[in-house]
């Protein structure tokens, strides 16, 4: 039904308002994107052939990010500038070694993966320039382990998790949304974890903002 409605809009240049009594003329241009092979979907009967040809007036095929290495640095710098301003971080740029590391990655998640990685790096770096260590998942995990280690003490999994969460909150000045991004978990999960911790002893790492009732 949805495909049929969209086809009618493209063919007749009019829409029906919910609860309306007559069609409304529209003058629009449609830009459609997909990561699916629509030709195969048409053959399988999953996508209307007439709608496919209506949409496929000018087709632009965009290769995956790993095949556009010349775009990686430009996109990375764009995201750094964007999140530097958004989060108020004093970051001057990306180190050359970090740029080389970025260009060497497979980027299976394409631009979205790069975007998320640069956001995390902006939130967690302690330096003026983002380095390879800020980007590498292994290095990030190693720093997280160091943050949870006592002086030779053996910690249980739950205690390591608790310390890692508090460390992320400390790095993000108590901002739970930013901390959740750093940890790679949802804000709901983080809130649930903090609620569990508050049932025990309070932690000095929690800011006043994070001590509010959930």
Instruction: Tell me the DSSP string of 11-71.
Output: HH-EE--TT-SS-EE---------SS-HHHHHHTTSS-HHHHHHH-SS------GGG-HHH
Return the minimum-mean-pLDDT range out of 45-49, 87-91, 95-99, 106-110: 87-91
Indicate the pLDDT class of residue 124, thresholds 50, 70 and 90: confident
Condensed to tens digits (0 to 9), the pLDDT of residues 163-200 reads 778 878 887 878 888 888 878 788 898 888 888 887 76
Indicate the pLDDT class of residue 133, thresholds 50, 70 and 90: confident
Q: Where are the domains of the chain?
A: 2-55, 65-135, 153-211
Does 153-211 match 65-135 at the fold level? no
Query: What integer pLDDT is reported at residue 140 of this predicted model?
Result: 52
Confirm whether pTM is higher than 0.75: no
pLDDT more than 70, % of the chain: 83
Residue 202 pLDDT greater than 50, yes or no? no
Between these two residues, 213 and 18, which has the higher pLDDT value?
A: 18
Indicate the pLDDT class of residue 138, thresholds 50, 70 and 90: low
Give the mean model confidence (pLDDT) for residues 92-116. 93
**How far is the C-alpha of 117 from the C-alpha of 108, rounded, in Å?**
13
CA distances (Å), 117 to each of 36, 46, 129, 145, in order?
A: 25, 34, 15, 19
CA dihedral 97, 100, 104, 110 (to 10 degrees): 110
- What's the CATH fold of domain 153-211? Arc Repressor Mutant, subunit A (1.10.10)
Query: What integer pLDDT is reported at residue 205 of this predicted model?
Result: 47
Contact, 192 vs 158, CB < 8 A?
Answer: no
- What's the CATH fold of domain 65-135? Helicase, Ruva Protein; domain 3 (1.10.8)
Report the b/e string of 134-158 with b at 16+ CB within 10 A.
bbbeeebeebbeeebeeeeeeeeee
Return the minimum-mean-pLDDT range out of 12-21, 36-45, 97-106: 12-21
Residue 146 pLDDT greater than 60, yes or no? no
Contact, 73 vs 103, CB < 8 A?
Answer: yes
């Amino acid at each position: 039904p949805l495909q049929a409605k969209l086809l009618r809009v493209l063919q007749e240049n009019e829409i029906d308002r919910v609860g309306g009594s007559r069609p409304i003329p529209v003058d629009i241009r449609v830009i459609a994107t997909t990561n699916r092979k629509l030709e195969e979907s048409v053959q399988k009967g999953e996508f209307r052939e007439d709608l496919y040809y209506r949409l496929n007036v000018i087709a632009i095929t965009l290769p995956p990010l790993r095949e556009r290495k010349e775009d990686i640095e430009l996109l990375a710098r764009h995201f750094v500038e964007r999140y530097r301003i958004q989060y108020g971080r004093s970051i001057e740029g990306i180190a050359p070694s970090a740029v080389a590391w970025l260009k060497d990655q497979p980027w299976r998640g394409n631009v979205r993966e790069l975007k998320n990685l640069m956001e995390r790096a902006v939130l967690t770096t302690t330096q003026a320039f983002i380095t390879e260590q800020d980007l590498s998942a292994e290095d990030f995990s190693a720093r997280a382990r160091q943050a949870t280690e006592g002086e030779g003490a053996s910690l249980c999994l739950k205690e390591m998790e608790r310390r890692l969460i508090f460390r992320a909150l400390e790095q993000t000045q108590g901002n739970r949304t930013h901390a959740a991004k750093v940890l790679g978990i949802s804000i709901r999960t983080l809130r649930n974890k903090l609620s569990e911790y508050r049932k025990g002893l309070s932690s000095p790492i929690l800011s006043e903002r994070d001590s509010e009732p959930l």
